[in-house]
Structure 1
């Protein structure tokens, strides 16, 4: 409702109506003032006895437009006795004397009962301590602030529909009420606030109405907050005004903040001043023109800082928010100043997995997502993808929504990380097999965990997590056995040497298995033979030493797989045999070339311990990932290339070589896990001494290799034999140490192995010669001449006269008779001319000869293994070229009257006569004797006794080996 002004004298000081507002028992608890003040405050206010006022005080009230009746009705009086003044404001008498006489404004409750509380206005006000000016009014020290309710305003308090003004100062409230505007006053603009706790010298806590104001019926009431005209320019007053309005609005009041205008000369107006200068009607107009205050900001609810991260992120009812936190300027409590929704889900990192493949580490976060009432879900997110948040929908579905807006993805990423906390569990997962030094122990990793040695003084390692996927998942050892069980398993493994296949096949196969367990090797074993020769079955028996489940039908590798798949598998399988089965190049030349390239790349990587270089997305190089196990391949064919076959131990398996009855028995042992148990026992036996074995292995290999140097056609062959001998050596040392075999058996097995490996070396020479481009050169050139693809001419360009016959040089000799019956022989060249022959020398045209060789190789479904320049350089290095021109392979010769550069060879070289310079063959030499030199049990890898001589096997076998379970 709007205010109206009465037509009378404006005297609204008649007896108040009974009001329903109860200021409560707090008033009764107020300390009683002194007798002087009490007597005056409690005297009747019906006008029969007027309060005493000093002349200056009466003049002051009249200057504010207040009538004597108003003063009398509200008990206003003067007090000059310092004792009474001291009692009124709870001061000492000495201090009270300094104030002089005071004008007293007693406070009454809504029923007119005195509250024993008064505000006083001294004649000699004291100076302010905090700023310039005087303290105009004094209120009782150490007592609660009370609401001043003029007598004429008491009835309005009980009527929620009655408008009410709120101001600062008793005199202003009296003036407004006298003019028909019910008004209550505060002793100060902040004195409406209930007492609050102090922290660090500052009041903190929620702003709430004090006891007196809280008892007023505010709901539905129109309230006018009317402070002095300088309220808008005084920041402290403006804050108090705004805060009071917000609190009253929350209590249900309709609040209007009144702006009284200042005078043209800048003089300030309070309510009393304004009414004196402009009258009640002008005030009514201002009140009715004032609009309701805007709804306040949401109440600044104090928050628990622990619910927010350092940067203000929090999760509320399944949503993620970014909040700007601030200290409320009024309460000094931590509140949310601004809240921004980031996503309709909550995500936290609950774990970190470091995937270690032996050359590099990849990190993955386990992210747990909660959304609404759905069950929580967890998914792995690679670290490099985490920041982009492009995994959210991919991993958890389309209902997860990241809010649109600049920077929100960055905030959400930060929120996930901060809300996850610092205590995120981290685990390392190894993704390869083989030896790995973990916690100062050499451990052997496999799909079911790790074989860990017991090392004195080294704490027990925590559980080791190994994850092998796909084709590598079958590499799993059982728990290592001991005693008779272990000896039985080892004898089953040695059973592969007992009548299953000829020793030339069995010993390389078994030695390869145990050599793989010793660590890196730079050769591969190749089982070559026609279909039906049981190559794959033999390879499976070797493979099952590293996992009983890898049977003939479940071998890990196959040559039909892609290059990348095989390279990845060969990198994962470390220090173990890796069977790649069935090298049988297809009839399609393109497919055959691809398979040969795959084999070449893989075997070359095995031999050189090198992998293909790859780049990351950011352009940096990834570490190479070469084969790290020992490849055991099977195939009907052997990869092309002399350098490739030099890295292979090629074992020929013929039909009928395999004893099928023994094969069935060995397959049963393998399926029962005996072969894997034997290998697990070997690894467990090796583990505590592996550091020493590893350190001395290369020296042992060199020592064995040196006994074969010069005895074979290729420098790599002695190294392959030495590696096989190492495998056999450590197998026999292990088997003897656990008493699975005795001394005579060890010596016999060593002797048989030596013979088998020498046989393998002989076969190796044949394979290498077949792949050697120099060795093949005379054969293929002879094929060019004999097949009619090319011919050699005499120095004059006609048929050659060199022996043995023109047919040997690519000519047809045809006999005919003349008309007189005389015999006549005519010679016709076949194919292109590739050179000339004169006496004991052949002169090849470099380009024509190589073109003919390449065409012949192409017709055979392959390319010539080396380039033209490489072939001729090797011919020169091998002594095949009998004449050269310094560093140049071609020699100048005049043929058919023209000076030409040609390759000069001995004619007998092309005719295949033995003993020619450069003709490949096996070197001869003394093989020497073999005494098995085995590592000392428990020391691992020592190959010499303390007196410097090679130790005999019997001297080095002991029985003090402990087998350690994973």
Structure 2
């Protein structure tokens, strides 16, 4: 044991340091081996690439070094890629293309650029010309318009290279400028009226409009001018003058829309049952601006308010037709149509457009209506403020002479020539027309103003009379009317417009939302669906059901929450709705002076009746009170 404990272990050989010294001696040899192998691989790659280049050049011909893009012998678009000391041919596509025209279109708010592009497949088969919006050009997705035969080779930069080659090949493409709207435009110091085929009053003007506007085209000069003007005059005899004179005045007002210092703020509504020739009359009105024997492809009530607004901006100084506003059995569909007509009438009346943002959050230019709106329908607009912005012409079948209507339809091709004559006359008298407008308009509006009528109605009359005067002056200058005939026409027109104003005023009063609220409330009381309690014990309860307020000999005291809910429930069951919120309703009552507010100005105030405290609205307007009590008195 002792010997075993004292014995020390034999030392292990120091292999670690020896191995490190041995490996260190081998490192230079390994590095030299790696470098040699790398040189061999590089030589092999160069030889392979050189061989491939030789084979490619033998098959495709010599590579042109002066041009970055070229067609190989198979007709493929190619480019040259340098790899170290060699050049490699890269195929990009089986087609080549170039921009043949750069078209700049000014729509009055902003400019849009479109490229006209021609091309060919494999240098042999021509491709049809296509038009590409400039923002879509760089992504090359537009090549699908040429079909599946057009092929871009795979690769992340191929499309960008093809785009680059097209631009290099198109440096000499001509730039052409076009207008993208109708109506008046001052060009090089003189006025011209733009339309789909060019312009009236100027030569060499290019106008580019979407296909749906293509029918808005006029002759450069009137042919058979006298016969054309007479055909337009025959419009007055196809029906009652109470209808045809306002319509024709509206037609000849439309080219004045934007050149007058103040734009007209109303629309014309042809209202009548099916079969009363509404659309036919509207089409004849439009025929003064082109071939509109049919009204297909025009804006309608299936369009969105946004699309209507955009079209109304482009159709400047002309008629904009929304045809056939018909009632619908589906509540949702009816509400959608109502929204469209309300939006259109307000937009034309206020000359406003929606604010919109681009994808990068920058603001787009506002677009707003720049012509006149003509609506036809079997359903009249229902909102009081909308009716005030509308001249409604009621139409029945007996109002139209069908024989004369047919004759005018056959002569409809003459109507654009009459309009061209009128436009050329306006151009020659532009300063006189626009210069006298402010004072004359003010005079006409004052003459047409009647106490108690909506202020917009007098403006409607003033615009229509001014248009009629302008139209009559044109006819006198053309020797169509004598001075005496002109005076008779103006006198007849004034009387018709005044009568229309009176009718329209009654229509506005009949659609008063405040009066309507109290009439509905009176009906509900009469039907015993709600009740009014007397303020004093000797009175009788009127109606039955939920209490909506109290009454005495002088006032109505409405519990506004209960009364409001009762009216809204009634309207909902009838498929309608109240156009204002409760707070707006109370505000309108205060503004009208129909209620006695609290001392602090609030519409509601506390009142103790029969020992109970209620918060009520005290109605003092006798007309509103009578609209409730007159129904009550039929029963009590």
Fold equivalence (TM over 0.5): yes
- State the distance in 2 between where 1:358 and 1:766 align: 40
User: By how many angstroms is 1:481 displaced?
Assistant: 1.9
Pick aligned residue for 2:308 from 535, 553, 566 = 566
1:750 correspondence with 2:501 = no
Partner of residue 496, structure 1: 235
Q: Measured at CA, do residues 444 and 325 of structure 1 come closer, stay the same or move farther in structure 2, by a change above 3 Å?
A: farther
Q: CA RMSD in A?
A: 3.0
More helix by share: 2
User: By how many angstroms is 1:518 displaced?
Assistant: 0.9
* Structure 1 counterpart SS, 2:239: coil
Pick aligned residue for 2:401 from 659, 668, 690 = 659
- State the distance in 2 between where 1:555 and 1:505 align: 26
Greater relative contact order (Cα < 8 A, sep 6+): 2
- State the distance in 2 between where 1:745 and 1:490 align: 15
Partner of residue 890, structure 1: 604
User: By how many angstroms is 1:387 displaced?
Assistant: 0.7
1:529 correspondence with 2:272 = yes
**Is residue 476–residue 486 contact of structure 2 (8 Å, CA) maintained in 1?**
yes
Partner of residue 470, structure 2: 730
**Is residue 115–residue 134 contact of structure 2 (8 Å, CA) maintained in 1?**
yes
- State the distance in 2 between where 1:682 and 1:655 align: 31
- State the distance in 1 between where 2:614 and 2:452 align: 39
User: By how many angstroms is 1:600 displaced?
Assistant: 0.7
> For structure 1, which segment, 689-698 or 750-759, has the greater mean C-alpha deviation from structure 2 after superposition?
689-698
Q: Measured at CA, do residues 835 and 464 of structure 1 come closer, stay the same or move farther in structure 2, by a change above 3 Å?
A: same
- State the distance in 1 between where 2:362 and 2:321 align: 33
User: By how many angstroms is 1:560 displaced?
Assistant: 4.3
1:609 correspondence with 2:351 = yes
Partner of residue 576, structure 1: 318
User: By how many angstroms is 1:589 displaced?
Assistant: 1.2
* Structure 1 counterpart SS, 2:448: coil
Pick aligned residue for 2:76 from 286, 304, 319 = 319
Q: Measured at CA, do residues 297 and 492 of structure 1 come closer, stay the same or move farther in structure 2, by a change above 3 Å?
A: closer
For each residue in 1:577-630, what CA deviation from the matched residue of structure 2 results, as whole angstroms up to 9, or x when unmatched? 122222122121111111100101111111111223333333333323322221
Partner of residue 133, structure 1: none
1:391 correspondence with 2:142 = yes
- State the distance in 1 between where 2:385 and 2:621 align: 28
**Is residue 556–residue 625 contact of structure 2 (8 Å, CA) maintained in 1?**
no
**Is residue 519–residue 627 contact of structure 2 (8 Å, CA) maintained in 1?**
no
- State the distance in 1 between where 2:51 and 2:569 align: 96
Partner of residue 687, structure 1: 427
* Structure 2 counterpart SS, 1:375: strand
Q: How does 1:457-496 map to 2 (within 5 A)?
A: 461-470=203-212, 472-481=213-222, 485-496=224-235
TM-score by length of 1: 0.55
Q: Measured at CA, do residues 759 and 381 of structure 1 come closer, stay the same or move farther in structure 2, by a change above 3 Å?
A: same
Partner of residue 126, structure 1: none
User: By how many angstroms is 1:476 displaced?
Assistant: 2.1
- State the distance in 2 between where 1:346 and 1:557 align: 40
Partner of residue 937, structure 1: none
1:510 correspondence with 2:248 = yes
- State the distance in 2 between where 1:878 and 1:304 align: 86
Partner of residue 133, structure 2: 382
Q: Measured at CA, do residues 555 and 504 of structure 1 come closer, stay the same or move farther in structure 2, by a change above 3 Å?
A: farther
- State the distance in 2 between where 1:737 and 1:439 align: 27
Partner of residue 961, structure 1: none
- State the distance in 1 between where 2:268 and 2:419 align: 19
1:593 correspondence with 2:335 = yes
**Is residue 278–residue 376 contact of structure 2 (8 Å, CA) maintained in 1?**
yes
Partner of residue 461, structure 2: 721
- State the distance in 1 between where 2:389 and 2:254 align: 16
- State the distance in 2 between where 1:715 and 1:313 align: 70
* Structure 2 counterpart SS, 1:633: strand
Q: Measured at CA, do residues 314 and 847 of structure 1 come closer, stay the same or move farther in structure 2, by a change above 3 Å?
A: same
1:543 correspondence with 2:286 = yes
User: By how many angstroms is 1:566 displaced?
Assistant: 3.4
> For structure 1, which segment, 785-794 or 354-363, has the greater mean C-alpha deviation from structure 2 after superposition?
354-363
* Structure 2 counterpart SS, 1:367: strand
- State the distance in 2 between where 1:683 and 1:408 align: 54
Partner of residue 182, structure 2: 433
* Structure 2 counterpart SS, 1:656: helix
Tell me, which stretches of 5 or more residues in structure 2 are unaligned? 1-46, 259-263, 631-636
User: By how many angstroms is 1:791 displaced?
Assistant: 1.3
Pick aligned residue for 1:668 from 379, 394, 410 = 410
- State the distance in 1 between where 2:575 and 2:424 align: 49
Partner of residue 448, structure 1: 197
**Is residue 444–residue 450 contact of structure 1 (8 Å, CA) maintained in 2?**
yes
- State the distance in 2 between where 1:761 and 1:606 align: 19
* Structure 2 counterpart SS, 1:881: coil
Q: Measured at CA, do residues 791 and 464 of structure 1 come closer, stay the same or move farther in structure 2, by a change above 3 Å?
A: same
For each residue in 1:706-753, what CA deviation from the matched residue of structure 2 results, as whole angstroms up to 9, or x when unmatched? 333454521211111111112112111111111111101100000001
Q: Measured at CA, do residues 438 and 659 of structure 1 come closer, stay the same or move farther in structure 2, by a change above 3 Å?
A: same
- State the distance in 2 between where 1:324 and 1:359 align: 45
* Structure 2 counterpart SS, 1:314: strand
**Is residue 349–residue 420 contact of structure 1 (8 Å, CA) maintained in 2?**
yes
For each residue in 1:163-191, what CA deviation from the matched residue of structure 2 results, as whole angstroms up to 9, or x when unmatched? xxxxxxxxxxxxxxxxxxxxxxxxxxxxx
* Structure 2 counterpart SS, 1:533: coil
Q: Measured at CA, do residues 501 and 296 of structure 1 come closer, stay the same or move farther in structure 2, by a change above 3 Å?
A: closer
**Is residue 884–residue 904 contact of structure 1 (8 Å, CA) maintained in 2?**
no
Q: How does 1:95-134 map to 2 (within 5 A)?
A: none
**Is residue 309–residue 369 contact of structure 2 (8 Å, CA) maintained in 1?**
yes
- State the distance in 1 between where 2:612 and 2:620 align: 21
Pick aligned residue for 1:401 from 113, 128, 151 = 151
Q: How does 1:296-311 map to 2 (within 5 A)?
A: 308=67
**Is residue 840–residue 907 contact of structure 1 (8 Å, CA) maintained in 2?**
no
Partner of residue 777, structure 1: 517
> For structure 1, which segment, 353-362 or 551-560, has the greater mean C-alpha deviation from structure 2 after superposition?
551-560
**Is residue 429–residue 467 contact of structure 1 (8 Å, CA) maintained in 2?**
no
Q: Which entry has the higher C-alpha Rg, 1 or 2?
A: 1
- State the distance in 2 between where 1:296 and 1:902 align: 97
- State the distance in 2 between where 1:660 and 1:734 align: 29
Pick aligned residue for 1:419 from 166, 169, 194 = 169
Q: Measured at CA, do residues 505 and 315 of structure 1 come closer, stay the same or move farther in structure 2, by a change above 3 Å?
A: same
Partner of residue 587, structure 2: 873
For each residue in 1:314-345, what CA deviation from the matched residue of structure 2 results, as whole angstroms up to 9, or x when unmatched? 3444332333699x9xxxxxxx9454332222
- State the distance in 1 between where 2:282 and 2:102 align: 39
For each residue in 1:194-240, what CA deviation from the matched residue of structure 2 results, as whole angstroms up to 9, or x when unmatched? xxxxxxxxxxxxxxxxxxxxxxxxxxxxxxxxxxxxxxxxxxxxxxx
* Structure 1 counterpart SS, 2:214: helix
Partner of residue 634, structure 1: 376
**Is residue 555–residue 581 contact of structure 1 (8 Å, CA) maintained in 2?**
no
Pick aligned residue for 2:107 from 357, 364, 369 = 357
For each residue in 1:340-366, what CA deviation from the matched residue of structure 2 results, as whole angstroms up to 9, or x when unmatched? 332222121111122332222221111
Q: Measured at CA, do residues 795 and 664 of structure 1 come closer, stay the same or move farther in structure 2, by a change above 3 Å?
A: same
**Is residue 791–residue 831 contact of structure 1 (8 Å, CA) maintained in 2?**
yes
**Is residue 533–residue 550 contact of structure 2 (8 Å, CA) maintained in 1?**
yes
Tell me, which stretches of 5 or more residues in structure 1 are unaligned? 1-290, 329-335, 454-460, 812-829, 917-966
* Structure 2 counterpart SS, 1:707: helix
User: By how many angstroms is 1:844 displaced?
Assistant: 0.4
User: By how many angstroms is 1:561 displaced?
Assistant: 4.2
